[in-house]
Amino acid sequence: MQCGHTGRNLIETNAVYVIVAREFKKFIREKSRLISTLARPLIWLFLVGGGMSKLVSFGSGISYMQFIFPGILGMTILFSSIFSSISIIWDKEFGLMKEILVAPVSRFSIVIGKALSGMVISVLQTIIILMLFPFLGMELSILSILSIIGIASLLAFCISALGIIVATFFESFESFGAIINFIVMPMFFLSGAMYPVDKLPSILKVITRINPLTYGVDAFKHAIFSDSSIHDFSLLTDLTFLVISSIIAVAVASFLFERKG
């Protein structure tokens, strides 16, 4: 931790650190939020995955429950990253945002701080979900666990940054439902999380192609399954897309923050 240094930094490490630390502290303090965010993936995995696996079957010895596991990871990250970023609206409504905006901190640092907050919380949840793995009859090497965590970080950062863009357009929490219905749910279903992308009609396919979650889920499939027939893109494509969209999202979010405050 660097401190006491006041130059014309592009990024203020102290500020970024404390924005993340606050989010993290609140997350672990709020038991109900922790439990509910962990319950959602479990419910999907065992109720949806368990039910559907009787109907759908894949070759190559992968059960449906196993097939959707990368999607469940993606869902966990999608929800926790979006929630984390959307908390900006909460901060605006209850005032803390003003305290941050009036401080000598660049808007870029605020965006990075918020995106990293979403990332830290999402990765924490990913790790907890990963502990469920032995129950699904799959074994993961240390290498694939590390790559899952790496991909999770990148994906969570990207989605959190996109969430910040969304949050800059809303002043009050009333729009929360709309955000979930019109942004989060479509992102989830049009990502190949629940079913292979190539089975979708072509209009929807276009959306899957610009949805970062598609690439995140695909990257998880690379890390989890050795069978190459199950993914749609190369790992390099997945990672490149995520990196580029993260950079664009952070740039746009910083611009919007600077303009609207």
Q: Which residues bind another protein (CB under 8 A)?
A: 1, 3-6, 12, 14-15, 17-18, 21-22, 25-26, 29-30, 94-106, 173, 261
Identify which of residues 84 and 126 has a Cβ nearer to another protein in the complex: 84
* 175 secondary structure, DSSP code: G
**Quick one: 25 or 50, whose CB is closer to another protein?**
25
* Smallest gap from residue 93 Cβ to another protein (A): 8
Least distance to another protein, CB of residue 2, Å:
9
Distance CA 167, CA 117 (A): 15
Instruction: Burial-class residue 110 by CB neighbours within 10 Å (0-12, 13-18, 19+).
Output: buried
CB of 129 to another protein, least distance (A): 25
Which of 109/214 has CB closer to another protein? 109
CB neighbour list of residue 94: distance below 8 Å, 6 or more residues apart: none
Residue closer to another protein by CB (options 172, 228) is 172
What is the smallest separation between the CB atom of 159 and another protein, expressed in angstroms? 23
Distance CA 261, CA 253 (A): 11
Beta carbons within 8 Å of 187's beta carbon, 6+ residues apart = 78, 211, 213
For 166, phi then psi, to 5°, come to: -60, -45
In terms of CB distance, is 15 or 154 closer to another protein? 15
Report d(CA 161, CA 79) in Å as an integer: 13
Closest distance of CB 43 from another protein, Å: 22
φ/ψ of 42, rounded to 5, equals -65, -45
